[in-house]
């Protein structure tokens, strides 16, 4: 008996150990860059609840680092990634960041659940390390307290509210029903987003558990409230698809809107019933009219196979690395964290690889959110095959800001 157990344990250990070494093979090499490596830390949730989205950007961040190293590195020095996993567990975040710091990281990428990133802010201040949260969209991440060192790229919910309002006006929508999940990420997002949408009357707000297996009650309540349109706010994944499946079955003729997550998670499109996503309009950022998006798409298809669906997460991860490269070059080296932080704040007019063609990112001491104006966003409509069909004809955010 004991021997059997010991055997099982050894087997498990062996399997686990293989997994550990397997991951190392993914990490980028120094490429053609010589000189002392510049160490960049990445807190990536690769096994926890945030793994489904943080690994998408994490993969592209690795690719971007490899690309930079192949082209000669930063100031002639290669970038080297050190990666730790916090499993989106806020109690692990301080230790993970400290570990990255003790491995010599000069700047960090935070690729984790938003509760974990929230927890990270105070540790960043303790460490004095600048950090970029490439895929963050919660405005509170870059607001006080402890926001001196943290940066985000994409448009936040404030801009989203503006875009939705434009869309509602164009489609003559006066009342709105909300279907939302119960995660902390979304609770914070709702507060910011819905607070900024004074253009419609919100007649019903229904909440379901993020791991809900049924939302028909919530949708039935929305049906009773009878709004002109429904907006689903969720971190995406199973909840979003269940919501769309249920809405498609019970509220067929209402216009449906969603946040960005459904568009960024191609794997969850398969979860939807046939045709259930048709007509759904989501807040996209990938616009093939943008030449840099096109270039990135080709690169990613070459790396990941021709069927690869490029998402905003990919583009944001890619741009985060490019921005850091720019900042290190501006600061003349990575070693003075204060100078590096100021260098990030001096970046202005960076042409992003997401959003519309002339969308740029700029930072300053008071602007820790890169997006300049709402045209980093684009309203995209799903087709009958449960795949994004293209820009929504009725309304697109104007690019002037």
Partner 1 sequence: MTDLQLWLSAMEMGCFFGMLALAYHLIYVGAGFFNFAIGPYAMMGGLCTSWLVITYDLGVWPAAAIGVAATIALAAATELGVVRPVQKRGGGELPALVAVAAVLFAIQQFAGYLFGYPTLPGQSLASFAPVPVGDITVQPSSLLLIVVAVLTFVATAAWIRFSRTGRLLRAVGDSNQAAALLGLPVNRIRLIAFVVAGFVAALAGLLFAPKAGVNSLSGLHWSLSGFLAVVVGGTGSVWAPLLGGMLLGLVEVFLPYYFGGQSHVYGMLLIALLFFAFKPQGLFVRKVRA
Partner 2 sequence: MTTTISRPTVSSDRWDPRRIPGGGGLALGVAVAALILVWVGSDGYRQTLVISAATYALIALGMYVPYLMAGSLSMAYSAYAGIGGYAVGLISARTGLPLVVAWIAGPIVAALVAVVLGMVTRRLSGFFLAAVTLLFGMAFTAFLIDAESVSGGSGGLGNLRPLNLLGWTPSHYHVVVGSAVVVCVIAFLLDRLRLSPWGVVVRTMRDAPRAVEAAGVRVPVLNIVALALGAMIAAVGGGLFTYAAGSITPDTFTLNIVFLAIFMPLIGGAGTPWGAVAGAVIAVELTLNFPAVQTSGTLLLAVGVLVIMLVAPKGVVGYADKLRTRLWALLRKERDRG
Q: Which is nearer to partner 1, 41 or 237 (CB)?
A: 237
End-to-end, the C-alpha distance of the chain in Å comes to: 71
Supply the minimum distance, in Å, between the C-beta of residue 89 and partner 2.
6
Segment lying near partner 2 (by CB under 8 A), choices 167-175, 180-188, 357-365, 390-398: 180-188
187 in contact with partner 1 (CB under 8 A) = no
CB 345 within 8 A of CB 323: no
The number of residues in the chain equals 401
What are the distances in angstroms from CA 360 to CA 31, 353, 374, 377? Answer: 29, 9, 10, 12
Segment lying near partner 1 (by CB under 8 A), choices 49-57, 133-141, 284-292, 336-344: 49-57
Q: Which is nearer to partner 1, 221 or 301 (CB)?
A: 221
CA distance 340 to 286: 29
394, burial (CB in 10 Å: exposed 0-12, middle 13-18, buried 19+): middle
232, burial (CB in 10 Å: exposed 0-12, middle 13-18, buried 19+): buried
Which of helix, strand or coil describes residue 370?
Answer: coil
- Footprint (CB under 8 A) of partner 2, residues 118-157: 118-119, 121-123, 125-127, 140, 144-146
CA distance 60 to 69: 14
Give the strand order in the sheet containing 131-133.
Answer: 79-84, 38-44, 107-111, 131-133, 150-152
77 in contact with partner 2 (CB under 8 A) = no
25 in contact with partner 2 (CB under 8 A) = no
Give the one residue of 11, 14, 95, 214 binding partner 1; rule: CB under 8 A: 214
Number of other residues whose CB lies within 10 A of the CB of residue 86: 30
DSSP state of 37: P
Which of helix, strand or coil describes residue 111?
Answer: strand
Partnered with residue 150 across adjacent β-strands are: 131
85 in contact with partner 2 (CB under 8 A) = yes
Residue 267 interacting partner from partner 2, partner 1, none (CB closer than 5 to 8 Å by kind): partner 1
394 in contact with partner 2 (CB under 8 A) = no
Site string for partner 2, 181-210 (x = CB under 8 A): -xxxx-xx--x-------------------
42 in contact with partner 2 (CB under 8 A) = no
Site string for partner 1, 226-255 (x = CB under 8 A): -----------xxx-xx------xx-----
Supply the minimum distance, in Å, between the C-beta of residue 109 and partner 1.
19
104 in contact with partner 2 (CB under 8 A) = no
**Cα-based torsion angle of the residue sequence 185, 191, 193, 195 in order, rounded to the nearest 10 degrees:** 180
Q: Which is nearer to partner 1, 274 or 291 (CB)?
A: 274
Give the one residue of 14, 36, 95, 295 binding partner 2; rule: CB under 8 A: 95
CA distance 380 to 163: 12
Supply the minimum distance, in Å, between the C-beta of residue 206 and partner 2.
14
Residue 273 interacting partner from partner 1, partner 2, none (CB closer than 5 to 8 Å by kind): partner 1
Q: Which is nearer to partner 2, 46 or 353 (CB)?
A: 46
Supply the minimum distance, in Å, between the C-beta of residue 59 and partner 2.
14
Segment lying near partner 2 (by CB under 8 A), choices 116-124, 167-175, 291-299, 337-345: 116-124
Number of other residues whose CB lies within 10 A of the CB of residue 19: 10
CA distance 344 to 325: 10
46 in contact with partner 2 (CB under 8 A) = yes
CA distance 185 to 31: 38
- Contact residues: partner 1, CB under 8 A: 1, 4-5, 8, 12, 15-16, 19, 47-49, 51-52, 182, 206-209, 211-214, 216-218, 220-221, 223, 237-239, 241-242, 249-250, 267-268, 270-271, 273
């Amino acid at each position: 008996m004991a021997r059997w157990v010991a055997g099982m344990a050894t087997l498990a250990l062996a399997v686990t150990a293989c997994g550990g070494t397997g991951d190392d093979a993914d990490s980028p090499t120094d490429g053609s860059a010589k000189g002392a490596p510049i160490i960049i830390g990445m807190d990536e949730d690769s096994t926890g609840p945030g793994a489904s989205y943080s690994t998408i950007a994490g993969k592209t961040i690795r690719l971007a680092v490899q690309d930079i190293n192949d082209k000669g590195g930063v100031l002639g020095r290669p970038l080297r990634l050190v990666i730790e996993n916090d499993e989106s567990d806020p109690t692990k975040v301080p230790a993970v960041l400290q570990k990255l710091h003790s491995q010599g990281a000069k700047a960090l990428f935070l690729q984790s659940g938003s509760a974990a990133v929230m927890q990270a802010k105070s540790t960043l201040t303790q460490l004095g390390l600048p950090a970029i949260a490439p895929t963050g969209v919660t405005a509170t991440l870059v607001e006080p307290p402890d926001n001196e060192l943290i940066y985000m790229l994409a448009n936040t919910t404030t801009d989203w509210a503006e875009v939705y309002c434009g869309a509602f006006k164009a489609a003559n929508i006066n009342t709105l029903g909300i279907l939302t999940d119960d995660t902390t990420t979304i609770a914070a997002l709702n507060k910011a987003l819905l607070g900024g949408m004074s253009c419609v009357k919100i007649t019903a707000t229904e909440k379901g558990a993020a791991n809900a297996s049924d939302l028909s009650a919530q949708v039935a309540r929305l049906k009773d409230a009878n709004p002109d349109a429904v907006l689903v706010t969720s971190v995406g994944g199973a909840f979003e698809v269940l919501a769309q499946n249920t809405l498609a079955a019970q509220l067929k003729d209402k216009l449906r809107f969603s946040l960005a997550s459904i568009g960024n998670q191609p794997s969850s499109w398969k979860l939807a019933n046939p045709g259930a996503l048709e007509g759904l309009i989501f807040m996209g950022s990938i616009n093939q009219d943008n030449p840099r998006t096109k270039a990135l798409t080709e690169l990613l298809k070459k790396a990941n196979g021709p069927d690869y669906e490029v998402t905003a997460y990919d583009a944001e991860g890619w741009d985060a690395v490019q921005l850091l490269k720019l900042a290190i070059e501006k600061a003349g080296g990575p070693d003075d964290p204060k100078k590096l932080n100021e260098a990030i704040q001096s970046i202005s007019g960076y042409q992003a690889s997401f959003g519309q063609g002339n969308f740029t990112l700029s930072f300053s001491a008071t602007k820790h959110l890169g997006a300049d104006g709402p045209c980093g966003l684009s309203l995209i409509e799903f087709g009958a095959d449960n795949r994004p069909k293209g820009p929504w004809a009725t309304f697109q955010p104007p690019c002037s800001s």
